[in-house]
């Protein structure tokens, strides 16, 4: 386990922005996706734990659903800054970027929806930026063939698969580069690196991790639950004890348990 965020004062400051304000419409279920339970703990709590257990992250800023800022702040504890997210993911990240400390030089952007991301991947991305790459993204090769398809449903072309990659988070950036990218307006991009590419800044890839997959649709949640169930007892990722939850610091976590819902008292969950 990494040391506490506050005590990592020496060396470069690395902030992690966690966009968590999405509705989770593709997953369904009513509760905002970041607060859906996975192995007895909210998905967002698991994603934050990966950042806390990394060696490199010194500050965490979460963009929460606007009506749940207080609930999420109580859930995550005082070492995490929680702000209201925006209508789209880019709006949430842009707002969070304004909330990071002045002395931060590297910014990671990490989806709340990737709860099983290994802390080592967080550190690998941060290390690559600190080594001098202005923008770094974790990627995996594809197993399916990908086609470009027109609005009429007809195939336009088949890009060579060996040059395609699926992109994960955390994505890491020099702070000035990400700030400049987010100052651009009306750039269609589905990830943060897409905005940086529009600036003309090179983006470097490093190997991603299978476990860092994004929980987007119902089968993803089933897979995540199954992977957690296979974690050895004592592994901080293990499914929470149904009596109250597994605290990665070794105690009982009253924040474990069911999905968090708007208006619920976080302290009573578990």
Residues near ligand CTP, by CB under 6 A: 19-26, 33-34, 63, 85-89, 92, 111-113, 214, 216
Query: Toward ligand CTP, which CB reaches closer, 23 or 267?
Result: 23
Query: Toward ligand CTP, which CB reaches closer, 42 or 270?
Result: 42
Q: What's the CA gap between 257 and 40, in Å, rounded?
A: 4
What does 88 interact with, of ligand CTP, ligand LQXTBERG, none (CB < 5 to 8 A by kind)? ligand CTP
Closest CA to 24 of 44, 39, 54: 44
- Sorted by sequence, the CB contacts under 8 Å of residue 35 that are 6+ apart come out as 42, 43, 44, 68, 71, 72, 75, 259, 260, 261
Q: What's the CA gap between 116 and 35, in Å, rounded?
A: 15
Q: Does 169 bind ligand LQXTBERG (CB under 6 A)?
A: yes
**What character string, x for contact with ligand LQXTBERG (CB under 6 A) and - otherwise, covers 211-240?**
---x-x------------------------
What does 169 interact with, of ligand CTP, ligand LQXTBERG, none (CB < 5 to 8 A by kind)? ligand LQXTBERG
Half-sphere CA count of 69, side-chain side, radius 13 A: 12
Q: Shortest gap between Cβ of 87 and ligand CTP (angstroms)? A: 6
Q: Does 190 bind ligand LQXTBERG (CB under 6 A)?
A: yes
Helix (H) or strand (E) holding 18: strand 13-19
């Amino acid at each position: 386990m990494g040391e506490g965020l506050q005590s990592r004062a020496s060396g470069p400051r690395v902030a992690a922005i966690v966009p968590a304000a999405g509705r989770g419409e593709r997953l369904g279920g009513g509760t905002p996706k970041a607060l859906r339970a996975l192995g007895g703990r909210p998905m967002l709590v698991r994603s934050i734990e990966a950042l806390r257990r990394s060696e490199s992250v010194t500050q965490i800023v979460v963009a929460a659903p606007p009506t749940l800022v207080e609930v999420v702040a109580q859930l995550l504890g005082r070492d995490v800054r929680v702000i209201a997210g925006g209508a789209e993911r880019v709006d949430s990240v842009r707002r969070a970027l304004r909330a990071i400390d002045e002395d931060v030089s590297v910014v990671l952007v990490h989806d709340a929806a990737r709860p099983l991301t290994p802390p080592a991947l967080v550190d690998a991305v941060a290390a690559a930026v600190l080594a001098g790459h202005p923008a770094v993204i974790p990627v995996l090769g594809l197993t399916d063939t990908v086609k470009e398809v027109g609005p009429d449903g007809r195939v336009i072309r088949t890009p060579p698969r060996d040059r395609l990659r699926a992109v994960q988070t955390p994505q890491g950036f020099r702070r000035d580069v990400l700030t400049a990218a987010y100052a651009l307006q009306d750039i269609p991009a589905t990830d943060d690196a897409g905005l940086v590419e529009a600036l003309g800044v090179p983006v470097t890839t490093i190997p991603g991790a299978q476990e860092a997959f994004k929980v987007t649709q119902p089968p993803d949640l089933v897979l995540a639950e199954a992977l957690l169930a296979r974690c050895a007892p004592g592994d901080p990722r293990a499914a929470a004890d149904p009596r109250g939850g597994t605290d990665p610091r070794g105690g009982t976590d009253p924040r474990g348990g069911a999905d968090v819902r708007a208006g619920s008292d976080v302290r009573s969950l578990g």
